[in-house]
Structure 1
Amino acid sequence: MTESQNRTSKKVIAIIQARMGSSRLPGKMMEPIMGQPLMYHIIARALQIRCAQAVYLATTDQPIDDPLVELAQKMGLKVVRGSEDNVMQRFFLAIEDANADYIIRICGDAPLFDPEFMDQSTAAMVDREADCIRPICNGPSAYQGAGPISRRALEWSREVAPDDPRTYEHVTAYAYDHMDRLKTVPFDIAPAFQGEYKLSIDTPHDLEFFRNLYAHLYKPGQIISLEEAVQFIKKSKPAMAD
């Protein structure tokens, strides 16, 4: 089987994990940024991932998360709801519903994940039947908020470490911490995106920074490119990047 044939034979889905409960910034997923909730911007970026054959919202079964469900369904997403305390359980509701082979995990509080990087890195994994990518870079990078992983790796994590919070809460962290036991594929990170960045919204200060960034760069109907965002961060707030 050629690489292109293997790629088309595998089912890839994107799963957005999000909920309204947050100890540091409650309700942040519906906080407005340029007239739209944060959740809207996360979904809009997820829908730009070309290799994802479906996009799911995985949220809790608590009534407080009903607004997220309503918005996700309005934007064409599939929705699964489950335990507030077990994110992995919610993921497998989506994985089993789609019979997915590969999953792109998207965090609901990091609105600058790069759809193109998701397409490229997922293709590299699928072509080599790998479980995750092994970034080649000198430290951290701006590629945050989303990442591809195989169903096989998540099943393995759930089997060998079901009670580890890296499994049931952070979903992919246990697998990433044990890459030596999985099949990985190296993936070069461009120097322009290497460095220390704070790209998640965890506090009111973070939210205000992103509102300012979107006020300068956002155009309705489009998404802000990661390159634009990195350049803006470096120019306007050097403390957020090396």
Structure 2
Amino acid sequence: MQIGGIILARYNSRRLPGKALKDIGGKPILLQIYQALRQYFSQGNIVVATSSSPTDDPIAAFCKQHQIHCYRGSLDKVAERFYDCAKHFGFEFAFRINGDNLFVESRCIVQMMADVQQDASYDFLSNVKERTFPFGMSVELLNTEFYGHCLEKFQQDARYQEHVTLYLYENENIGERKYYFNTKTPEAKGAHLAIDTPEDFEIAQLIYAQMLEPNNTPPLADLIRYYKQAKKKYEASLER
């Protein structure tokens, strides 16, 4: 079974331009995510999916420099880009990983991989439902053939094209599903760990400085403790 990890990334973010290649802990965010995933995927099964727009040339150049597979597709039709990338590389199942999700939820990745290898009838696996995990630690795994059929239904819908799995959450009756919930660290719900703004970036740097093993996302309870301390330190800096 071919299971791939697709990192969706673009360079020209409105709120934090160039965020995918901004440096944290001595490495670009995109490289941090890639190296975290390399613990679970072979090099050939991780792809950065960016757009064919010239604005994303820096991401393509970065991938070439670091020998990372890069797929270039539609700028605005992100869902189509994700699906076309999965088909191009022959992935039967494809993880959707966001290029601003520095803190990879590896435990969900490992469990989802094990679950589809044991039962290939699943179409959609996700830890997003009810948002018990922090924003920025989303992990979703899709059966490529199933997702292709879904894409045919919303091909021209800009809202579903932009938000890759929104159609599935709004149409709960389709597909065989499995959801994963965080029950051990309830204080993690609502935490914002995605790097989307300058504030997010500063807080992520402060979190990263506290991590004992920078190349590995710490247990969720520790990560949330680091997050709270980082947020408090950031807010204190604004008051000076």
TM range (shorter): 0.7 to 0.9
1:141 maps to 133
Alpha carbons 1:154, 1:171 under 8 Å: kept = no
2:8 maps to 17
- 1:10-31 Cα offsets, whole Å, 9 max, x none, are 2111101101111111111122
- Choose 189-198 or 154-163, whichever is displaced more: 189-198
Distance (Å, rounded) in 2 between the aligned partners of 1:133 and 1:189: 14
- TM normalised by structure 1 equals 0.82
Do structure 1's residue 150 and structure 2's residue 153 form an aligned pair?
no
1:69 maps to 60
The total of aligned residue pairs comes to 228
| Superposed displacement of residue 231, structure 1 | 2.7
1:212 maps to 206
Residues 1:139 and 1:146: Cα distance change in structure 2 (over 3 Å): closer
Distance (Å, rounded) in 2 between the aligned partners of 1:115 and 1:172: 20
Q: Secondary structure at the match of 1:118?
A: helix
Alpha carbons 2:80, 2:161 under 8 Å: kept = yes
- 1:191-218 Cα offsets, whole Å, 9 max, x none, are 2265211011111111100011112216
2:237 maps to none
Among 26, 41, 46, the residue aligned to 2:32: 41
Residues 1:225 and 1:79: Cα distance change in structure 2 (over 3 Å): same
Alpha carbons 2:108, 2:180 under 8 Å: kept = no
| Superposed displacement of residue 147, structure 1 | 1.7
- 1:137-192 Cα offsets, whole Å, 9 max, x none, are 86532372332111133212211111223432222221233232111124343322
Do structure 1's residue 86 and structure 2's residue 80 form an aligned pair?
no
Q: CA RMSD in A?
A: 2.6
Q: Secondary structure at the match of 2:189?
A: coil
Do structure 1's residue 202 and structure 2's residue 181 form an aligned pair?
no
Q: Secondary structure at the match of 2:50?
A: strand
Letter in 2 for 1:216: Q
- Aligned pairs for 1:82-161 (under 5 A) are 82-128=73-119, 129-133=121-125, 139-142=131-134, 144-161=137-154
Letter in 2 for 1:43: Y
- Choose 34-43 or 198-207, whichever is displaced more: 34-43
Q: Secondary structure at the match of 2:12?
A: coil
- 1:77-121 Cα offsets, whole Å, 9 max, x none, are 211112211112322332122221111001011111212311212
Gaps of at least 5 residues in structure 2 are 233-240
Alpha carbons 2:4, 2:41 under 8 Å: kept = no
Gaps of at least 5 residues in structure 1 are 1-9
2:20 maps to 29
Letter in 2 for 1:205: E
Q: Secondary structure at the match of 1:91?
A: helix
Identity of aligned residues (%): 25
Alpha carbons 1:15, 1:55 under 8 Å: kept = yes
Distance (Å, rounded) in 1 between the aligned partners of 2:43 and 2:116: 14
Distance (Å, rounded) in 2 between the aligned partners of 1:92 and 1:24: 26
Distance (Å, rounded) in 2 between the aligned partners of 1:104 and 1:20: 21
1:4 maps to none
- TM normalised by structure 2 equals 0.83
1:6 maps to none
Residues 1:11 and 1:144: Cα distance change in structure 2 (over 3 Å): same
